[in-house]
Amino acid sequence: MTEKLILDGNRVANDIKEQLQGRVDALSQKGVIPCLATILVGDDPASETYVKMKGNACRKLGIESRRIHLDSSISTEGLIDVIQKLNEDPLVHGILLQHPVPHGIDERAAFEAISIHKDVDGVTALGFAQNAFDYASFPSCTPAAIMAILDYYEIPIEGKHAVVVGRSPILGKPVSLMLLNRDATVTTCHSKTKKLPKLLQLADIVVAAVGKPKLIQGDWIREGAVVLDAGYNAGNVGDVDYESCLAKASAITPVPAGVGPVTIAMLLKHTVDAAEKSIAR
């Protein structure tokens, strides 16, 4: 049996962070400390955990992590006012609004309030458009992580058929565009797609980004496919059934320790990129 390639996200993330360290040190010598402001609205335990993880990752690299915790009763206008103040703060280089936000807040309006120069999580419509035209400074972090993993392991993209399962504006859609910009033929599937297993049988590259635990089964994919699982569900399981897909795939990301660590590494990279660009402006 052909040896399986486990796409180790921790290994990729560590490589990215090692490359960033020298850049952070160089900025520090110029008196610039890269700063990521993270806004958490409400008290969702999962969101609090994610924000804490991002803050810890920043501090380990010498990036300042500024945490803004807002009450769930805040209005959309109040949240936008907080974002505008961060836009105007020259010491803040990146802004991340942890989502989802509580019911009653217009999340899209809040995202759109983030300056394109500080949209390090790639959530604005302008950032999405720049990604579509292949010149985004800060593409959405999870799609960027998926591309980083493919590149790190030198997995060919050009001419391959990629099937993306999921069409969210910060994951499924942007990763479809990024693969298309790298000359893959891309099929984007979603909840209304008919005969999903038959479409997946055609895929050289499978990206699972739908948020349904173990949705994709091993007998749905072709022998030798590359499987990237961007899902993270209760019980530390992804959107693919790992064991059955492992039997068919030539390469696969585990969950956890696959796409997740690289997503955080890309957020750090974008923050450092933004700090460097702030000097040039």
Q: In this structure, are 114 and 148 located in the same domain?
A: no
Residue 165: what pLDDT? 98
Q: In this structure, are 100 and 169 located in the same domain?
A: no
DSSP code string of 19-66: HHHHHHHHHHHTT---EEEEEEES--HHHHHHHHHHHHHHHHHT-EEE
d(Cα 210, Cα 145) in Å, to the nearest integer?
Answer: 16
CATH of the domain at 57: 3.40.50.10860
Check whether 1 has a pLDDT greater than 60: no
Check whether 15 has a pLDDT greater than 80: yes
User: Does any domain span residue 76?
Assistant: yes
Name which of 164, 167, 174, 246 is nearest 206 in CA terms: 164
Q: In this structure, are 147 and 254 located in the same domain?
A: yes
Task: Please give the positions annotated as active site.
Answer: 54, 98, 121
Total number of domains in the chain: 2
Q: In this structure, are 148 and 48 located in the same domain?
A: no
Give the pLDDT band of residue 280 (cuts 50, 70, 90).
confident
Q: Do 36 and 271 contact (CB within 8 A), yes or no?
A: yes
Last residue of a domain, one of 57, 87, 118: 118
Q: In this structure, are 109 and 154 located in the same domain?
A: no
User: Does any domain span residue 7?
Assistant: no
pLDDT tens string 135-154: 999 999 999 999 999 999 99
Q: In this structure, are 60 and 148 located in the same domain?
A: no
Segments forming the whole domain that contains residue 96: 31-118
In the chain, the percentage of residues whose pLDDT exceeds 90 is 96
pLDDT tens string 50-94: 999 999 999 999 999 999 999 999 999 999 999 999 999 999 999
CATH of the domain at 164: 3.40.50.720
User: Does any domain span residue 82?
Assistant: yes
Q: In this structure, are 61 and 102 located in the same domain?
A: yes
Check whether 2 has a pLDDT greater than 90: no
Q: How many CA atoms lie within 13 A of 270 on its CB side?
A: 30
Q: In this structure, are 112 and 81 located in the same domain?
A: yes
Residue 3: what pLDDT? 77
What is the pLDDT averaged over residues 16-40?
97
Return phi, psi of residue 75, to 5°: -85, 165
Check whether 101 has a pLDDT greater than 50: yes
Q: In this structure, are 144 and 234 located in the same domain?
A: yes
Check whether 270 has a pLDDT greater than 70: yes
Residue 264: what pLDDT? 97
Q: Do 184 and 207 contact (CB within 8 A), yes or no?
A: no
Q: In this structure, are 144 and 106 located in the same domain?
A: no
pLDDT tens string 163-222: 999 999 999 999 999 999 999 999 999 999 999 999 999 999 999 999 999 999 999 999
Q: In this structure, are 94 and 35 located in the same domain?
A: yes
pLDDT tens string 159-169: 999 999 999 99
